């Protein structure tokens, strides 16, 4: 049977390596440091049971009916109030509910990118963003980073020398995959540069509230005086990912374009799920829940770091993230993490090889380890096994 003639944009797309690995590790018995999958044992199951009934009782048929594309107004109001605590001033009219922050990444590409445009990103950066943007046949340019975030001078240099730069994608807080948090000074310098160049910024911020040490810093959006920052938030890491509840907060004109994208892509969100999240925020103490999640994940991060120190070969380097879900491990340059994964999987341990997170460079000597999905015992056991595997390579 002859194949169809697909659109040109499909040529560059391949199945998400991470999601394919996640499919594999969904099997029982696998110790997985691969996906940044929240530990389901922490989900507030009883609260969800309670609010699901309340939604049906209080909202009735409206909770299962068509509704506006923008989403449930009370939830947008609650999001506005939550963001105000981070320093983001907004109105309900600046907020659109999304199927997770991923949909916001996709929409930002859809409304901004023409073929051949360049997207700037951190080096390394979130794979799912690269996949979403690739659909629009753009190119990528990695901006050099250090432990404090994007290096403003490097950004400035790139903006001065390369034409066609259309936007920059960033994860300033506890980045996927490195766990890095940009410093306040860097945030200010960064905004100064993008303001000068009138460059739209996507601030992808799903980990903002998963802070374990230090202090929360103002999101870029809180420092945005020119309406250039498209802020993406999510309930996936602080409540649960299965309800697919995220949002975008942006300047009205940008938001209008996001609404157009929403209408043509799937008309509107899930009205029941929007109310579930809204009622949870109304009737339960999400801050107390986040506190519990933080405490658990912080402990696991500490255990993982301890195990890296005791079990991994000495000539590796790892980040010491202050929040989020990932530790990034750099191996000696001659070690290919994809080969390490093949051996690790034989011992029922999984992680994501770092090579996937670079759009341009061929950097294969890194691993992304998630410390949130497994409990202490699993982390200790898996890291020991992984250490053994690494020692056969190094």
Which residue in the set 25, 83, 171, 240 belongs to the binding site for its own copies (CB under 8 A)? 240
β-partners of residue 370 are: 326
The whole-angstrom separation of Cα 121 and Cα 145 is 10
β-partners of residue 318 are: 329
Indicate the pairing of strand 229-234 with strand 145-146: unpaired
Stretch that binds its own copies, among 57-65, 85-93, 302-310, 350-358 (CB under 8 A): 57-65
Q: Tell whether residue 27 is a contact of its own copies (CB under 8 A).
A: no
Nearer to its own copies among residue 253 and residue 392 (C-beta): 253
Residues 170-189 that bind its own copies (CB under 8 A): none
For 247, the token pair is: 């949002």
Query: Shortest Cβ distance from residue 72 to its own copies (Å)?
Result: 10
Q: Tell whether residue 10 is a contact of its own copies (CB under 8 A).
A: yes
Nearer to its own copies among residue 12 and residue 317 (C-beta): 12
Q: Tell whether residue 61 is a contact of its own copies (CB under 8 A).
A: yes
Q: Distance of alpha carbon 207 from its chain centroid, rounded?
A: 7
DSSP track, 293-332: HHHHHHHHHHHHHHHHHHHS-TT-EE---SBSSEEEEEPP
Nearer to its own copies among residue 30 and residue 260 (C-beta): 260
Cis peptide leading into residue 239 (ω within 30°): no
Nearer to its own copies among residue 81 and residue 263 (C-beta): 263
Residues 293-322 that bind its own copies (CB under 8 A): none
Instruction: Mark 366-377 as b/e (b = at least 16 C-beta within 10 Å).
Output: bbbbbbbbbeee
Q: Total residues at the site for its own copies (CB under 8 A)?
A: 88
Residues 360-389 that bind its own copies (CB under 8 A): none
Query: Shortest Cβ distance from residue 93 to its own copies (Å)?
Result: 13
Query: Shortest Cβ distance from residue 133 to its own copies (Å)?
Result: 9
Q: Tell whether residue 92 is a contact of its own copies (CB under 8 A).
A: no
The whole-angstrom separation of Cα 366 and Cα 149 is 18
Q: Tell whether residue 112 is a contact of its own copies (CB under 8 A).
A: yes
Q: Tell whether residue 19 is a contact of its own copies (CB under 8 A).
A: yes
Q: Tell whether residue 128 is a contact of its own copies (CB under 8 A).
A: yes
To 5 degrees, how large is the angle CA 76–CA 326–CA 320? Answer: 115
């Amino acid at each position: 049977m002859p194949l169809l003639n697909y659109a040109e944009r499909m040529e560059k797309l391949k199945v998400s390596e991470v999601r394919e690995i996640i499919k594999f590790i969904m099997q029982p018995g696998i110790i997985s440091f691969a996906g940044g999958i929240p530990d389901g044992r922490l989900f507030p199951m009883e609260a969800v049971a309670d609010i699901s009934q309340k939604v049906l009782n209080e909202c009735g048929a409206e909770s299962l009916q068509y509704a506006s594309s923008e989403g449930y107004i009370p939830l947008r109001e609650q999001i506005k109030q939550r963001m105000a605590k981070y320093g983001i001033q907004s109105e309900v009219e600046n907020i659109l509910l999304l199927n997770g922050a991923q949909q916001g990444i996709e929409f930002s590409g859809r409304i901004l990118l023409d073929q051949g445009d360049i997207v700037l990103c951190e080096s390394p950066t979130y794979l799912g963003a690269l996949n979403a943007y690739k659909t629009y046949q753009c190119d990528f340019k990695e901006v050099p980073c250090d432990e404090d975030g994007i290096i403003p001078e490097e950004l400035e240099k790139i903006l001065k020398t390369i034409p066609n730069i259309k936007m920059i994608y960033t994860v300033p807080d506890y980045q996927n995959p490195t766990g890095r948090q940009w410093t306040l000074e860097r945030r200010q310098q960064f905004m100064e540069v993008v303001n000068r160049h009138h460059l739209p910024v996507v601030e992808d911020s799903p980990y903002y509230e998963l802070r374990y040490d230090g202090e929360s810093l103002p999101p870029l959006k809180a420092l945005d005086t020119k309406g250039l920052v498209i802020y993406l938030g999510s309930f996936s890491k602080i409540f649960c990912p299965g309800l697919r509840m995220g949002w975008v907060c942006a300047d009205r004109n940008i938001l209008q374009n996001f609404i157009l994208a929403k209408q043509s892509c799937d008309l509107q969100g899930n009205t029941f799920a929007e109310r579930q999240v809204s009622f949870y925020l109304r009737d339960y103490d999400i801050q107390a829940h986040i506190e519990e999640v933080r405490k658990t994940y912080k402990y696991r991060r500490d255990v993982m770091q301890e195990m890296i120190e005791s079990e991994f070969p000495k000539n590796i380097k790892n980040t010491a993230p202050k929040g989020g879900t990932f530790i990034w491990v750099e191996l000696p340059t001659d070690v290919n993490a994809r080969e390490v994964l093949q051996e690790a999987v034989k011992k029922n341990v999984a992680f994501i090889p770092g090579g996937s997170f670079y759009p341009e460079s061929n950097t294969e000597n890194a691993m992304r380890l998630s410390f949130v999905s497994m409990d202490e015992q699993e982390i200790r056991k898996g890291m020991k096994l992984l250490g053994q595997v690494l020692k056969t390579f190094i």
